[in-house]
Structure 1
Amino acid sequence: MVDYKTVLIPDETELEIKKSRFINLVFHIETEAEAETILAEIRKKHYKATHVCWAYVLNTNPRRQKASDDGEPSGTAGKPMLEVIDHRELKDVLVVVIRYFGGIKLGSGGLIRAYGGGASDVLNHCTVIKKQFSDQLQVVVSYASYGGLSNGLLERDVIPVNEDFGENVTLSFQIPVAETKEFLAWVEDKTNGTAQIIRGEQAFVDVVEA
């Protein structure tokens, strides 16, 4: 499994270009069915819109992507939106640009700039996260070992997701898979081989991009 970038929560922006209103939306999705459900709701809400154009990319192997011009000239809406998503290397993302026509035609070049610009605008505004494929680890240590290990973790800037103080101290971590081997070797050295390691299932962890 490979780390990838996506959006955290839905977001919305709006642009006016030559009297046309462009409402730009972004959603995190994980299946085509989710995309279709969201699009159906948008079409119902914006039933008076002139066009509801969209593009999405899924984190599948092989990658699954789709786009729609929804009546705009071919290649002037869905494709530029898809190119914006690709340029930002985002996956599991649906971008929708809704147009309310204002009476002035934009031409093919103007439409490409408007729909690509709408996608860029909402992606600039939203929160992007990294889906980091990680090992779920528990490190069980004695109280005698805890102090030195805790200080070492501060120096490494590694923060446990949970600390449980019982008969022993159990520290829970989400460590990127590529870093697990080195991290466990460090824990073993720091605790003189006394730490007990419990491995959980590997999973994607959300990391907010700076």
Structure 2
Amino acid sequence: MQIVYKAGVGEIVEKKSRFIATVRPVTSEEEATKFINEMKKQYWDARHNCSAFVIGDNNEISRCSDDGEPSQTAGRPMLDVLLNEDVHNVAVVVTRYFGGVLLGTGGLVRAYQKAVKEGLNNSVLITKAKGVLYEIGTDYNGLGKLQYYFAQNNITIVNSIYEADVKLEIIIPIDQEEKIIKGAIETTNGTVKYNKVQELDYAIVDSELIRL
């Protein structure tokens, strides 16, 4: 699933109305509510501060608010974007400064959804996965074989320690654990040594392990 790694802000203008979307990661309803109140305080002079948030691996908690806009024209469309983009543990507030021109029901829905998408585009989203951290030991004869094998199977080597032998730290997606370890044994004709360190939630960003 996708989560927000770095928060972002996006802005659009529709018929002279400004729509400012502020996106932030949250882990509880209390945190989301606090963020929404912060935005209302920051943009106290705006006509509307509409909001939506989803929390939980299965979106156990979801809320939205039109904040004075016609019913179902702001909060729900904003929430639909978060659900359709499969972004979890996130809150967004879209602040509207009214430009004097009415947008109509359809225009409002489109504007609020477009603003949320712009906010997400200006945030950094990462894919959260469940995996297993392993320490893999090999001699130098087996190193190249293992590096090639892991590359072919999209397994990330997060650390390499070169001493008398070599120790590699790798992350294996949890549903591939048995297959990858079996393949490493076969690749090195049974000489590889391995140690399961821990299960963890993670993401890979620019080949760097991010523990979540």
TM range (shorter): 0.7 to 0.9
How far 1:208 moved relative to its partner?
A: 5.3
* Distance 1:207-1:159 versus aligned 2 partners, 3 A rule: closer
Equivalent residues of 1:35, 1:94 under 8 A apart: yes
How far 1:5 moved relative to its partner?
A: 1.4
How far 1:157 moved relative to its partner?
A: 4.5
* Distance 1:17-1:165 versus aligned 2 partners, 3 A rule: same
What is the identity, as a one-letter code, of the residue corresponding to 2:27?
E
Identity across matched positions, percent: 33
* Distance 1:143-1:67 versus aligned 2 partners, 3 A rule: same
2:28 pairs, out of 26, 31, 44, with 31
- Residue 115 (structure 1) aligned with residue 87 (structure 2): no
How far 1:23 moved relative to its partner?
A: 0.5
SS, match of residue 180 in structure 1: helix
Give the number of equivalent residue pairs.
206
What is the identity, as a one-letter code, of the residue corresponding to 1:189?
E
Q: How does 1:164-175 map to 2 (within 5 A)?
A: 164-175=161-172
Tell me how far apart the structure 1 counterparts of residues 130 and 76 of structure 2 sit (CA, whole Å): 30
Unaligned residue ranges in structure 2 (runs of 5+): 207-212
1:103 counterpart residue number: 100
* Distance 1:162-1:106 versus aligned 2 partners, 3 A rule: same
How far 1:79 moved relative to its partner?
A: 0.2
Tell me how far apart the structure 2 counterparts of residues 111 and 118 of structure 1 sit (CA, whole Å): 11
1:74 pairs, out of 62, 71, 85, with 71
Cα deviations by residue, 1:135-174 (Å, 9 ceiling, x for unpaired): 1111122334323323433444434100112343211111
Higher strand proportion (structure 1 or 2) = 2
What is the identity, as a one-letter code, of the residue corresponding to 1:81?
M
SS, match of residue 127 in structure 2: strand
User: Which segments of structure 1 move beyond 6 Å, counting only runs of 4 or more?
Assistant: none
What is the identity, as a one-letter code, of the residue corresponding to 1:140?
G
How far 1:8 moved relative to its partner?
A: 2.1
Tell me how far apart the structure 1 counterparts of residues 150 and 204 of structure 2 sit (CA, whole Å): 19
- Residue 57 (structure 1) aligned with residue 54 (structure 2): yes
* Distance 1:115-1:62 versus aligned 2 partners, 3 A rule: closer
Unaligned residue ranges in structure 1 (runs of 5+): none
Equivalent residues of 1:54, 1:78 under 8 A apart: yes
TM-score by length of 2: 0.87
2:3 counterpart residue number: 6
SS, match of residue 63 in structure 2: strand
Q: How does 1:112-191 map to 2 (within 5 A)?
A: 112-191=109-188
- Residue 203 (structure 1) aligned with residue 200 (structure 2): yes
Tell me how far apart the structure 2 counterparts of residues 122 and 195 of structure 1 sit (CA, whole Å): 47
2:210 counterpart residue number: none
Tell me how far apart the structure 1 counterparts of residues 12 and 152 of structure 2 sit (CA, whole Å): 46
Equivalent residues of 1:127, 1:208 under 8 A apart: no
